[in-house]
Amino acid sequence: MDYDARNSICKLIENITDEVQAGEHLDHAELNALKKLLRASDGNMAAACEILFERLQNKHSQKRLRALLLIDVMFTRSKHCRALLVPLFEKILELSVGFRLDSPLPPPKEAADNLRERSLQIFAKWDTSFGQHYRQ
């Protein structure tokens, strides 16, 4: 994998996920730049999935939500992304819904509640669109 491409992907993902003041709005220009890099190679997609999975472990629920929204964009558009993330689905679920007592969602509470609600909506959409192809 090209180091410069990975670095660009990492910076774009950080910019997009760290913009907590933007709520659920993902910057269109940065999103398009990221999509262009991801279409260039499967290695770029794998790097993005790895980076986003790390971002889902952030100690701020709003940043986790923005990472999940970005994952949703990629997951719905890319079969390769789905193949990479489906094996991690249980952990993604845990990090975005917070169903385990020993692993609650991080603060702030309002953002955690929003993360949980949006996650369930996104996962229901994925199940409707792709569930029959990815049964475990």
> In whole angstroms, how large is the CA radius of gyration of the chain?
14
Dist. CA 105–CA 114, nearest whole Å = 11
Indicate which CATH number applies to the domain containing 21.
1.25.40.90
Which residue matches tokens 């220009």? Answer: 29
Look up the domain containing 75 and give its range. 3-131
Domain tally, the chain: 1
Say what the pTM is. 0.93
Q: Is 136 inside a domain boundary?
A: no
CB 51 within 8 A of CB 97: no
Domain-located, residue 56: yes
Quote the pLDDT of residue 20: 79
> Is it the case that residue 94 has pLDDT exceeding 80?
yes
The pLDDT of residue 131 is 80
Mean pLDDT of the chain: 93
Q: How far apart are CA 115 and CA 98, in angstroms?
A: 9
Amino acid at 68: L
- Structure confidence by residue, pLDDT tens digits, 19-48: 878 788 999 999 999 999 999 999 999 999
